[in-house]
Chains A and B, each alone.
Chain A
Amino acid sequence: MTARTVLKNEWRLLMADRPLQIALGLFLVLLGYALTNGVVWLRFQERTVEATTSGNVERASALQQELEAIEAGGQPSSPFADPRSPRVLGGPSGSHTAVLAPGPLAALAIGQGDLLPYYYDVNIYTNEASFQQNGEVENPLNLMVGRFDLAFAVVYLLPLLVLALSFNVLSEEREQGTLALTLSQPVSARSVVTVKLAFRALVVAGIVLGVSLLGALATGGFGSPGRLLLWSVTVVAYSLFWFALAAWVNALGRSSAWNATVLVGAWLVLVVVLPAAINAAAGLLHPQPSRVEMVTAQREASNDAVNRRSELLARYLEDHPEMAEGVVADEPGLGALSWAATDAVNGRLEEVAAEHDARRAEQTALVRRYRFLSPALLAQEALLDAAGTGDARFAHFQSQVRAFAEQWRDFFVPAILADEQMNASVLPNVPRFGVADEGSTDVARRATVPLGVLGGLLALVSAAAGVGLGRVRGAD
């Protein structure tokens, strides 16, 4: 009896097993739904990115027209929003939207994309508080429940399909009395189970990877073969882990019912209970620092800065230049004075934020250690990283926006301090944001840890299954 015979028989069995076909069909339908959800979300993000880009162009060209009109002897559209002033040109009305386009595989995993901001309006007033803005407009209920995307289907539902396909791979033969017959041939239980499970793994991985590749094909994901490879390797390693677990349990020689109970229990513990317990333990042992105190700190910093500038009128005019009716619009040094206060507040905010971020990084590092306990958490991390919707890519984007804001200030602040006016000739030199997306190697390097641990777990379980199956005899 060769592997080919086993495979052929397996195929025949599959063709004859109606409930199994229904289960596979249902899984395929769910995967299809998950993929379309991802694609709908991707298109939504793409439209938003497009709107921000055209918004940037429109704002720049409107400013250019106005500046050129002023140079030709015209008047600014409003005397209080004169674009020649660097505080206006570099301020909110001249701001530039820095945006992170969705990753090449974004349709496969929505991940943190619905929670974390992927665009920021950058201007001279951008500071640490600006990074506390909310992400996309979203119903908090939807954020709480989570989305039905491919990553969810892989992490939660794929193991259940794997277990349904393999919980009785050996025990059924024993219960039907065919095990002794099979093992009377020159094959070992180990090779029979391996071939049978390999066939089932091919079916499962074929379905999931087929849908994933289809999604990638439809949304241009093939532009990043590295990420696609990482996604596929994770899917395969994760499903093999569950097949190996089923093989191990089968090797223990108990009944199919016992196998089913134990395997479902394992799924429940590893996928549902453990991640939740880990999160609770992490929250108890390493509580997250609260952002609430940041609000107070920011307030105190700006009170302090404002108190140092005593001119009541200047402050009032700053709040409301349109109310001044030209009284002191050109008071010398007003811009510099105001910038000094802004800068003082920014400095204090950076201190508070740095302190907070350090505590948060410490907490996150501790929490991340516990993920090694659950293959589901490891798979989720690797899948989101591959799709470019994990925490790391957003953090990378944020640090680039921070650098860009610095560049923006460097361009405008000297003119503010010198009380200079700007004209249309500076526009081509105004900084423009271009995201330097992380390369495949960065992603791969980050994914080594979760994938390595997942691989280790797989090897461990496979070894145990191999040893156990080696002991199985036909006549026990």
Chain B
Amino acid sequence: MIHHIVRKEFADMIRDGRFRWSAILVGSLLLVSLAHGWVQARKASQEHAAAQATTREHWETQGEKNPHSAAHYGVYAFKPRLALSFVDEGVDPFTGTSVWLEAHRQNDFLLRPAQDATAAQRIGALTAAQVLQHLVPLLIILLTFGAFASERERGTLRQLLATGVGWRELALGKALGASGALALLLVPAAVAGAAALVVANPGPTASPLARGAVLAGAYLAYFVVFLALSLAVSARARSSRTALVFLLAVWVVNGLVAPRVAVDLSKRVYPTPSAFEFARTVEREMADGVEDIAPPDRDESTERLLAEYGVERVEDLPINAVGVYLQESEEFGNRIFDRNYGALWDAFRRQGILQETLAAAAPSIAVRTLSMGLAGTDVEQHRHFAEAAETYRRDLMRQMNGDMTENSLTGDFSYAAGAELWESVPPLEYEAPPLGWVLGNRILSLAVLGAWLAGAVLLASAQVRRAEVA
């Protein structure tokens, strides 16, 4: 029996002009956005790889100089675009693309693409993720708001039930029929996406296919939530019009209102300092130290070295005391940076968690968070790269100061190292976090989306059971 229902629903849908046109619109937007995203990601990826190679070349060919001058010269790190970022660019336009790794300071990521764009470009980016998060649910609503309500209005529901078909079967059949129609546009997009990943990987990532599979699963769960909600509302609503109005209201709150309301709320609960305040705090703490973090004392450091080497005068030290002091300054600065940047990242994380919690009121927030996480374009993975770059900077500084300490004497400003030292520094090689790390960060969103899924399916079965025939 059920396959008759499925076939009938499916046939109805693809015969319906409204569905055909909206499906063609959404399907082509999806394919265009995938293609657009892929082209962009590959272009950015190539640019960054080229720039990374150039900065390495500059580093290696900087000529003979004091290692500390080389440390000031530094290198740049360019944030790689991960493979799946073509599906969801996430926060990438709003984080910087490059950071200068130099002596004495942790710099901010600069060159945010959005800063070069216009205000109009901020109110809607057409990415595959946007289409999947907003337009596909709308299509689901349009497909199913009348599933029961229209049949009831036309009086066909009574006839249908008179044939002996159960409510359960009917609901399942309608859900499967709509899924079949949706599959006509989603499956090709998924295949195209997977093909793009396999055939011409646009960028590096750990286990791109596994990430892609989980991503597809998250979206599938999200669509089932909408399908079940829509059927539940259709089963209960007095008229198909009421069902549509109610579902559209849910859609507006879910996709438009709730995410922004959550942003402002999270900012009020967990405020962040102004850039001015942040910079001044770092400057002040770098000058005077803070709490138990005191700036290194140069005389004390020298005294300790004299005692350690058992000599009387600085000139008699077999090493360069300045190099030791410079490294101590680095270590001190690192603690100040960790303290300030750590607090900032933590505030961002708490804001994010609050927003994830509010997904209890709007599943779009949960699926958005999962989507960015799996695409590698969320704040946490930006932080992951930023910390990798900072660790690289610290290692680089340690190596430069170490070379200066070992190979020159205090007060000797003529010592110059060469290409051999520069080349001995390994290039920055970033490894994206594995899938487990990403999912570990996103347990809350997984749970909330799971709860939505279970809740929506239970609600649908309860509402269908209690639905009235006429």
- A: residues with CB less than 8 A from B are 30, 33, 37, 40, 44, 47-48, 51-52, 55, 97, 111-112, 115-117, 119, 132-148, 152, 155-157, 160, 256-257, 260-261, 264, 268, 272-273, 275-280, 282-284, 287-288, 290-296, 299-300, 303, 307, 312-313, 315-317, 319-320, 323-325, 327, 360, 364, 367-368, 371, 376-377, 380-381, 384, 390-391
Contact of B91 among A143, A364, A391 (CB under 8 A): A143
Q: List the A residue with the shortest CB-CB distance to B91.
A: A140
Contact of A135 among B115, B135, B267 (CB under 8 A): B115
Question: Would you call B248 and A264 a contact (CB within 8 A)?
Answer: yes
| Distance of A146 Cα from B261 Cα, bound (Å) | 9
Name the distance in Å between B413's Cβ and chain A's nearest Cβ.
Answer: 5
Known contacts A303-B58, A313-B413; A44 and B274 CB within 8 A of each other: yes
Question: Would you call B138 and A268 a contact (CB within 8 A)?
Answer: yes
- Chain A residue numbers with a CB within 8 Å of B112 are 115, 134
Contact of A145 among B95, B118, B240, B260 (CB under 8 A): B260
Q: List the B residue with the shortest CB-CB distance to A357.
A: B116
Task: Determine, out of B158-166, B182-190, B347-355, B459-467, the stretch whose residues face the partner at the interface.
Answer: B347-355
Task: Determine, out of B40-48, B215-223, B330-338, B440-448, the stretch whose residues face the partner at the interface.
Answer: B40-48
- Chain B residue numbers with a CB within 8 Å of A156 are 256
Contact of A283 among B40, B51, B69, B322 (CB under 8 A): B40
Known contacts A55-B280, A132-B111, A364-B118; A380 and B351 CB within 8 A of each other: no
Name the distance in Å between A118's Cβ and chain B's nearest Cβ.
Answer: 10
- B: residues with CB less than 8 A from A are 25, 29, 32-33, 36, 39-40, 43-44, 47-48, 51, 54-55, 58, 62-63, 65-66, 68-69, 72, 76, 78, 90-91, 93-98, 108-126, 130, 134-135, 138, 240-241, 244-245, 248, 252, 256-257, 259-264, 266-268, 272-278, 280, 322, 344, 347-348, 351-352, 355, 378-379, 382, 411, 413-414, 416
| Distance of A261 Cα from B352 Cα, bound (Å) | 36
Question: Would you call B114 and A143 a contact (CB within 8 A)?
Answer: yes
- Chain B residue numbers with a CB within 8 Å of A293 are 47, 51
Q: Which of A117, A145, A391 has the most CB of B within 10 A?
A: A145
Known contacts A146-B123, A273-B135; A141 and B379 CB within 8 A of each other: yes
- Chain A residue numbers with a CB within 8 Å of B118 are 364, 367-368, 391
Q: How many A-B residue pairs have CB under 8 A?
A: 227
- Chain B residue numbers with a CB within 8 Å of A371 are 120
Q: List 11 A-B contacts (CB under 8 A).
A: A51-B280, A132-B111, A137-B344, A142-B351, A257-B244, A288-B113, A296-B51, A299-B55, A315-B69, A319-B72, A376-B123
Question: Would you call A144 and B90 a contact (CB within 8 A)?
Answer: yes
- Chain B residue numbers with a CB within 8 Å of A384 are 119
Known A140-B94, A390-B119; 10 more pairs at CB < 8 Å? A140-B91, A142-B351, A257-B244, A260-B241, A276-B125, A279-B121, A280-B36, A295-B51, A313-B414, A367-B118
| Distance of A144 Cα from B375 Cα, bound (Å) | 15
Question: Would you call A143 and B125 a contact (CB within 8 A)?
Answer: no
Question: Would you call B29 and A277 a contact (CB within 8 A)?
Answer: yes
| Distance of A287 Cα from B93 Cα, bound (Å) | 14
Contact of A140 among B25, B108, B111, B382 (CB under 8 A): B382
Known contacts A291-B111, A312-B416, A390-B119; A142 and B266 CB within 8 A of each other: yes
Name the distance in Å between A21's Cβ and chain B's nearest Cβ.
Answer: 16
- Chain B residue numbers with a CB within 8 Å of A364 are 118
Question: Would you call A147 and B55 a contact (CB within 8 A)?
Answer: no
Q: List the A residue with the shortest CB-CB distance to B322.
A: A323
Known contacts A143-B94, A276-B130, A303-B58; A325 and B411 CB within 8 A of each other: yes
Name the distance in Å between A444's Cβ and chain B's nearest Cβ.
Answer: 18
- Chain B residue numbers with a CB within 8 Å of A136 are 274-275
Q: List the B residue with the shortest CB-CB distance to A370.
A: B120
Known contacts A292-B97, A368-B120, A391-B119; A52 and B276 CB within 8 A of each other: yes
- Chain A residue numbers with a CB within 8 Å of B413 are 312-313, 316-317, 323-324, 327
- Chain B residue numbers with a CB within 8 Å of A287 are 40, 43
| Distance of A189 Cα from B348 Cα, bound (Å) | 56
- Chain A residue numbers with a CB within 8 Å of B256 are 156-157
| Distance of A307 Cα from B58 Cα, bound (Å) | 13
Contact of B348 among A141, A288, A316 (CB under 8 A): A141
Q: List the A residue with the shortest CB-CB distance to B411.
A: A325
Question: Would you call B48 and A367 a contact (CB within 8 A)?
Answer: no
Question: Would you call B111 and A292 a contact (CB within 8 A)?
Answer: yes
Question: Would you call A133 and B110 a contact (CB within 8 A)?
Answer: yes
Name the distance in Å between A231's Cβ and chain B's nearest Cβ.
Answer: 15
Question: Would you call B276 and A48 a contact (CB within 8 A)?
Answer: yes
- Chain A residue numbers with a CB within 8 Å of B51 are 292-293, 295-296
Question: Would you call A275 and B72 a contact (CB within 8 A)?
Answer: no
Question: Would you call B110 and A132 a contact (CB within 8 A)?
Answer: yes
Known contacts A260-B245, A316-B69; A152 and B260 CB within 8 A of each other: yes
Question: Would you call A148 and B261 a contact (CB within 8 A)?
Answer: yes
Question: Would you call B91 and A141 a contact (CB within 8 A)?
Answer: yes
- Chain A residue numbers with a CB within 8 Å of B263 are 141-142, 145-148
- Chain B residue numbers with a CB within 8 Å of A377 are 120, 123
- Chain B residue numbers with a CB within 8 Å of A324 are 413
Known contacts A139-B348, A284-B36; A256 and B241 CB within 8 A of each other: yes
- Closest CB pairs A-B (n = 8): A276-B124, A280-B126, A140-B91, A148-B260, A140-B94, A276-B126, A143-B94, A275-B124
Known contacts A313-B413, A319-B69; A380 and B119 CB within 8 A of each other: yes
Question: Would you call B348 and A292 a contact (CB within 8 A)?
Answer: no
| Distance of A280 Cα from B117 Cα, bound (Å) | 13
Name the distance in Å between B381's Cβ and chain A's nearest Cβ.
Answer: 11
Q: List the B residue with the shortest CB-CB distance to A300.
A: B58
| Distance of A52 Cα from B117 Cα, bound (Å) | 27
Name the distance in Å between B357's Cβ and chain A's nearest Cβ.
Answer: 14
Contact of B275 among A137, A276, A277, A367 (CB under 8 A): A137
- Chain A residue numbers with a CB within 8 Å of B322 are 323
Name the distance in Å between A224's Cβ and chain B's nearest Cβ.
Answer: 20
- Chain B residue numbers with a CB within 8 Å of A30 are 257
| Distance of A453 Cα from B172 Cα, bound (Å) | 50
- Chain A residue numbers with a CB within 8 Å of B378 are 141
Known contacts A48-B274, A299-B55; A360 and B414 CB within 8 A of each other: no
Name the distance in Å between A381's Cβ and chain B's nearest Cβ.
Answer: 7
Name the distance in Å between B444's Cβ and chain A's nearest Cβ.
Answer: 14
Q: List the A residue with the shortest CB-CB distance to B90.
A: A144
- Chain B residue numbers with a CB within 8 Å of A319 are 68-69, 72
Contact of B68 among A33, A276, A290, A320 (CB under 8 A): A320
Question: Would you call A273 and B119 a contact (CB within 8 A)?
Answer: no
Q: Which of A260, A275, A293, A324 has the most CB of B within 10 A?
A: A275
Question: Would you call A296 and B260 a contact (CB within 8 A)?
Answer: no
| Distance of A403 Cα from B388 Cα, bound (Å) | 38
Name the distance in Å between B367's Cβ and chain A's nearest Cβ.
Answer: 14
